[in-house]
Amino acid sequence: MQTPIILVALLAVVIWGASPVAAKIAVQEMQPLAVAFLRTLLGGLAALPVALAMRIPLPASRSDKAVLVLSGFCGFIAFPLLFTFGVALTSANHASLILAALPVFTGGIALAWDRRLPKAIWWAGCGIALIGEVLLISGRTGDTLVNASMEGDLLVLASNLFASLGYVAGGRLQRSGYPSSGTTFYGVAMCALVLLPLSPFLLSDVPFGAMSAVTWTAVLYLAIGVTIIGYVMWYWALGKGGIERIGLMQFLQPVSGVILAWILLAEPVSLAFLGSAALILLGVWVALRAK
């Protein structure tokens, strides 16, 4: 696999790694529904004029248009809604760790879609990385679980399914020749236009004038950094490098997420975390060697 593909996928994962932290910051001053809504609405309103200016065409075939709708709904409506409500009920650290299941969901959906099985080295890499994830979760101290709840964990876990299905759909569009920018821009713009009429109802209680600059930065990061930049890079990497292989890079997402939670939210990082991170890195490296 070419190094640029891995680097682009890695950068997307690092950008996404900050999403639990940004969402946690945003829900401290806003309702989760408003955060999820603004994330898609602002991202879509920013993406649509860019797509039109770049003259990006819509998918030509009816089947590709259906895949674009599926990708957009999963990635820009279902996932943000479940994820933001989940983060509001759990810690950023915990949400980051639960997102470690994304590569398993993504790879499994991609393989089922294509009706094929991966090579043994892929399974070996997944196994090593999952061991790292198990140690990462079991090695966390009780202090990090104070703000976590079973309801929040389950909502974040459920969001994984929609995110992974959206990734696979977007990756297949890229693989069929449709640009990742089109999948992202038109996907989020379509969802934003659908949600726009609901703005008076969903944003009526948002204290826009009282919101801090930190909260606005978190919302804009979710709308532009995560929703647009991250998705464009990720769909491109999935299409070029293979969904089941590049999807494994998401094993690194909890690593960056926990580090950012430690820096920005003062959530502690233990020695067990460092050992687990090493296993996760090793597992990704082994799995990426699969042809």
Tens of pLDDT, residues 64-120? 999 999 999 999 999 999 999 999 888 787 788 777 777 777 877 887 888 877 778
Distance CA 164, CA 104 (A): 9
Give me the amino acid identity at 239: G
pLDDT-based confidence at residue 139 (cuts at 50, 70, 90): low
pLDDT higher for 186 or 4?
186
Q: What is the pLDDT of residue 144?
A: 47
Mean pLDDT, range 39-48, rounded to an integer = 92
- The pLDDT mean for the chain works out to 83
Task: Report whether pLDDT(121) > 60.
Answer: yes
pLDDT higher for 136 or 181?
181
Q: What is the pLDDT of residue 231?
A: 84
pLDDT-based confidence at residue 143 (cuts at 50, 70, 90): very low
Q: How far apart are the first and last CA of the chain?
A: 8
Task: Report whether pLDDT(187) > 90.
Answer: yes
State both tokens at 138: 């079991």
Nearby residues of 86 by Cβ (< 8 Å), 6 or more positions away: 95, 151, 152, 153, 154, 155, 156, 157, 158, 159
Most distant CA atoms of the chain, gap in Å = 56
Task: Report whether pLDDT(37) > 60.
Answer: yes
Q: What is the pLDDT of residue 91?
A: 78
SS3 31: coil
Task: Report whether pLDDT(142) > 80.
Answer: no
**C-alpha 256, offset from chain centre:** 13
Task: Report whether pLDDT(140) > 80.
Answer: no
Q: What is the pLDDT of residue 72?
A: 94
SS3 179: coil
**Closest-CA residue to 183 (of 33, 75, 35, 78):** 75
CA 70 to each of CA 37, 61, 162, 190, 191: distance values in angstroms, whole numbers, following the listed order: 18, 14, 10, 11, 11
Distance CA 248, CA 105 (A): 10
The count of structural domains within the chain is: 1
**Closest-CA residue to 285 (of 4, 5, 6):** 6
| Domain encompassing residue 20 | 3-287
pLDDT higher for 46 or 268?
46
233-277 residue pLDDT tens: 888 887 788 776 777 777 777 777 777 777 877 766 667 667 777
pLDDT higher for 277 or 188?
188
Task: Report whether pLDDT(141) > 70.
Answer: no
Task: Report whether pLDDT(57) > 70.
Answer: yes
**Mean pLDDT highest for which of 77-81, 135-139, 144-148?**
77-81
Q: What is the pLDDT of residue 202?
A: 83
Nearby residues of 98 by Cβ (< 8 Å), 6 or more positions away: 153, 156, 157, 160
CB 165 within 8 A of CB 70: yes
Mean pLDDT, range 35-55, rounded to an integer = 91
Distance CA 254, CA 32 (A): 21
Q: What is the pLDDT of residue 116?
A: 78
SS3 204: coil
pLDDT-based confidence at residue 1 (cuts at 50, 70, 90): low
211-239 residue pLDDT tens: 899 999 999 999 999 888 888 888 888 77
What is the Cα Rg of the chain in Å?
18
